[in-house]
Structure 1
Amino acid sequence: MPVVFFVAILLFLPMNGRAADVLIHHANGYADTVQRFTWMTIHDGRVAAIGNGEAPPTEYSSVVDMQGKTLMPGLIDAHGHVLGLGQYRMRVDLVGSESLQIALAWVTEQAPPGTGWVLGRGWNQVLWPGKKFPTAADLDRVMADRPVWLRRIDGHAGWANARALQIAGIDNATPDPVGGEIHRDAEGNATGIFVDAAMALIDQHIARPGDDEVRYALVVALKELNSLGITSVHDAGVDTQTLTVYKQMADDGALSVRIYAMISDAGENLDAMDKPLHSYGGDRLTARSVKLYIDGALGSRGAAMISDYCDDPGNKGLVFSGQDELDEMVSKALGMGFQVGIHAIGDLGNRMALDAFAKAQEGDSDRHRNRIEHAQIVALEDIPRFAGLGVIASMQPVHATSDKNMAADRVGEKRLAGGYAWRKFLDSGAVIAAGSDFPVEYANPFHGIYAAVTRMDQNGEPTGGWYPGERMTLQEAVRAFTIDAAYAAFQENDLGELRPGKWADFIVLDRDLFKVDKAELWQIQVEETWLAGVRVFPANE
């Protein structure tokens, strides 16, 4: 027997010689970004073997003929907000509103009946003529008799009407909280816009949802993610209640997406946990990461910058905590055995996060795999520190194409040399774990892959790409949504590729993403999604 053939047989033999339960054959399969296969066998939800040509003759409980369809590993969104997505689908949706007038009309049309709070999300003043923040008086023109609270698209600012301000007791004497800002007019009156930590002044007056409502929202979100080919999500910012509901769903076999939960902050949510939660419910739920927050977002000028915003002199954004406090939170989480992911968008926020990791890790990087969530605007001299410290850059490619219309206004061309700088990160040796930040952006991972590869929006603008030198290759972009995202969650031995021993999480596509024109990448449709060898989309009848 030729040596090459013998090695191939060894590579594709079923694990432990066990018979496979499921045969997938006649597939245009990708085990990763390079290795191809035409058949795959599955046992106990994991890949037993892959190969080319005819599958081994044996008995299978199920045989699925892919008829030449493209099959690839399930995609991992390394930064999303599952509960937020589900709630967003049940509230006023202002995404895409192209003017204040349209946004107000949509509030009127979509507000649920009753007298209680009207909640919603998605407005973006940058897309409106004049680009000015809206006011409570604007909302009062269409809805003054009940409280209204609408989050900006990035979730880092909120817009309230006068009734909401009244309920919250907001007046001229209300101080700005640390890490937050109340927008005020020339007379010192609150205008209705609350940024970052100031949003809690309104949020605390809105009743928390019950467990049943949380579960319903999670189910709504998971079904949407199934349809988009997402088989695992790093849920960035989970509270104790949501984690409890996740565990109940795992117990009930109701988690159709794997959840890598990032506990929100190092306070009471972390204190409620004795230790990390590993591979719960058949490996459907893991909670071994803590998400901290050091600054806000670029669109609301809350991202912490080393120097002033170009379009708002005197404003350097918001820092949520001092360096000593951040250092203490990082040390606490690491001491409890958790990975730490720090939300940092501005160059000052990123530098503070890196400094905190440098102090806490004491030269030990591989064990922690700490992360910076977003890493959008980074000083050039700080980019190599990611690889040096072993810090993972958890980045969202669609943010670049969404922010391109305002980023230069906010920070100027010079600082954009370190903005959304995927190529510089990769060339420095850093690992990029890609996500979407849904519902801030649409959760479709092929939109992210397209943005990463082209640096263009879906209208093909700007021609040639926005700062095209920062593009990823297609293989790099796919890795960022598969094996590198798995690495960011310590799950590379189980997820991210279709290889013997790993979970059989895969998707079936309407076209071959490695052969289509790059302009088509965002149009790819998911026809089937499988988790642990079971089809979850379309849902089995």
Structure 2
Amino acid sequence: MDRADAAEPVLLSGARLPGADGVFDLSLADGRVVSITPTGAAPAPALAPASGAAHPRRIELDGRYVVPGLHDRHVHASQWAMVSRRLDLAAAASAAEVAALVAASVDRGQAEVIGFGYRDGLWPDAPSRRLLDAVSGEVPVVLVAADLHACWLNSAAARRHGVAELAGDAGVLREDDCFALVRELDDLADDVLDGWVGEAADRAARRGVVGITDYEMRWNRDDWARRAARGIRSLRVSFGIYTQHLDRAITDGLRSGDLVEGTGGLVSVGSYKVITDGSLNTRTAWCFDPYPGLEGHEHAHGVATVPYDELVPLMRTAVEAGLTPAVHAIGDRANARVLDAFEALGSAGWARRGSIEHAQLLRREDVARFARLCVIASVQPEHAMDDRDVADRYWPGRTDRAFMLGGLAAAGVELALGSDAPVAPLDPWIAIAAAVGRTRDGRQPWHPEQAIEARAALAASTGGAGHTVQAGAVADLAVLDLDPFTASADALRRMPVAATLLAGALTHDALGG
């Protein structure tokens, strides 16, 4: 999957630009958009690239639409690559249905069962270790929740991983205990995992994706440098750094935005990532009000995983080293506290371009604070479709303040859209459709007042390139069969992508010419 020669000049002829009248020719050279001229006008004079090639390759688009290439702002790349190799639990509507799926896997002779995608927030029955033991015997079973914040194990797996006491009778690990186990599951041979990641990168390119932000809980610099050296070059990758690696990153002089040598300019240092609460489906998102049915419980309001008096020094250490904070907060109490932390950092430049990852449940007064503090809301609109019923049950009477994309945009907050793959598919068109339509599967839109316009959703999905292609910009482009500004939400979700270009080189080509 080596990237095509980015120095080859290309002429995209007969292109439409969403929101603009007419048909255009886009001249690409040295990885940039040299010019945009009406089709049939005199060609741009500066097409000869530095390589010395004299004539551009002409690609007829026949009126297809060209937009900036898409970026997924929040991905767990290794876990996304593994999902297709794991038992799919997404359709299970109860613990009993999950047990039946596990039983079928064991009957097929699997020596170990690893599953992904269960959502137990609305189940009529609860996960239990005994239920899995009854269908699995001594075959280890580890099932990862769709939100990545919980794992359900049988006794054999609990013993194998040394977590029997932590998992208890329910066989469930949450938050940091779950993350530690998932990291063990991710510990595959480099060549195997890299091969799977490469396949996932190719699939992403087929959806118009040119870049991702990878928040895998690994030392990502070496992973992506190795992958680039092995030819995985169809994506730009900005990688996150977690607390367990913060000292190493500072010692190595990593700063947000710096390019990693030897990666062809495709891999860059991303943000410092810290997780401050849990998730809504796991009922660990930290909220001001207790979860119904959990009143009086130790964690009735969810879980604050990093105390404030630790969070602020960690963020300050990162900022002073040149690392931008990206802070996970889902509950309204967590979001308020993280905004307090950004405010405590003052006007430090690196902090002012920081983000809150997810920003799902908010107080209205905190929307204005996002804008005032210049904190980016890095949101995953498809989560609203996945969690709407869970939110209605566990956040009743307040869901007008859930997934407030419209309110944030109206307040002038910069939005960045992503998937949190594998929590939702690594497909920005799914995120854009959810942001625009607030619906899926034919249901009535959920709080449609929080929808945003298609051009705003597209602009939040292009890594800062905006909603339209500009002359002089990097030639990271997607070629579409439909106008994204006028397509319905359902059509956006299925958007046909005819081609993807990274620095002017095709990484996906379904043009048929």
Q: Provide TM-score, normalisation by structure 2.
A: 0.88
Give the residue type in structure 2 aligned to 1:28: R
1:237 offset after TM fit, Å? Answer: 3.6
Give the residue type in structure 2 aligned to 1:401: M
Greater displacement, 369-378 / 269-278: 269-278
Distance in 2 separating the partners of 1:20 and 1:534: 8
- Paired residues, what number? 490
Distance in 2 separating the partners of 1:239 and 1:539: 34
- Match for residue 502 of structure 1? 473
Distance in 2 separating the partners of 1:56 and 1:391: 44
1:290 offset after TM fit, Å? Answer: 1.0
- Match for residue 521 of structure 1? 492
Work out whether residues 70 and 512 of structure 1, in 8 Å CA contact, stay in contact via their aligned partners in 2: yes
Matches within 5 A, 1:427-466: 427-457=410-440, 459-462=441-444, 465-466=445-446
Q: Taking structure 1 as reference, are residues 49 and 352 closer, same or farther at Cα in structure 2, changes over 3 Å only? A: same
- Match for residue 176 of structure 2? 197
Distance in 1 separating the partners of 2:343 and 2:40: 53
Distance in 2 separating the partners of 1:330 and 1:36: 49
Give the residue type in structure 2 aligned to 1:88: V
* CA root-mean-square deviation: 2.7
- Match for residue 501 of structure 2? 530
Deviation beyond 6 Å, 4+ runs, structure 1 = 111-115
1:204 offset after TM fit, Å? Answer: 7.1
Q: Taking structure 1 as reference, are residues 202 and 476 closer, same or farther at Cα in structure 2, changes over 3 Å only? A: closer
Q: Deviations over 1:155-206 (max 9, x none)?
A: 00001011112234445xx46xxxxxx5xxxxxx421111112225645765
Matches within 5 A, 1:173-322: 174=165, 182=167, 189-200=168-179, 202-203=181-182, 208-240=187-219, 242-265=220-243, 267=245, 270-271=249-250, 273-276=252-255, 278-280=258-260, 281-314=263-296, 315-322=300-307
Q: Taking structure 1 as reference, are residues 238 and 379 closer, same or farther at Cα in structure 2, changes over 3 Å only? A: same
Distance in 2 separating the partners of 1:262 and 1:289: 5
Distance in 2 separating the partners of 1:197 and 1:523: 36
Structure 2: runs of 5 or more not aligned:
1-6, 46-53
Q: Deviations over 1:340-374 (max 9, x none)?
A: 100100011111211111111x1345774000000
Work out whether residues 344 and 374 of structure 1, in 8 Å CA contact, stay in contact via their aligned partners in 2: yes
Structure 1: runs of 5 or more not aligned:
1-18, 176-181, 183-188
Q: Deviations over 1:257-278 (max 9, x none)?
A: 1111111235456356422262
Work out whether residues 106 and 113 of structure 2, in 8 Å CA contact, stay in contact via their aligned partners in 1: yes
Work out whether residues 288 and 337 of structure 1, in 8 Å CA contact, stay in contact via their aligned partners in 2: no
Among 118, 126, 129, which residue is 1:136 paired with?
129
Work out whether residues 449 and 478 of structure 1, in 8 Å CA contact, stay in contact via their aligned partners in 2: yes
- Match for residue 423 of structure 1? 406
1:449 offset after TM fit, Å? Answer: 1.3
Q: Taking structure 1 as reference, are residues 540 and 511 closer, same or farther at Cα in structure 2, changes over 3 Å only? A: closer
- Match for residue 162 of structure 1? 155
Q: Taking structure 1 as reference, are residues 238 and 37 closer, same or farther at Cα in structure 2, changes over 3 Å only? A: farther
Q: Taking structure 1 as reference, are residues 372 and 138 closer, same or farther at Cα in structure 2, changes over 3 Å only? A: same
Matched, 1:76 2:55: no
1:125 offset after TM fit, Å? Answer: 1.9
Work out whether residues 366 and 390 of structure 1, in 8 Å CA contact, stay in contact via their aligned partners in 2: no
Give the residue type in structure 2 aligned to 1:502: A
- Match for residue 186 of structure 1? none
Distance in 2 separating the partners of 1:36 and 1:504: 21
Work out whether residues 13 and 39 of structure 2, in 8 Å CA contact, stay in contact via their aligned partners in 1: no
Distance in 1 separating the partners of 2:428 and 2:183: 33
Name which structure has the greater RCO, CA cutoff 8 Å, separation 6+.
2
Matches within 5 A, 1:31-46: 38-46=24-32
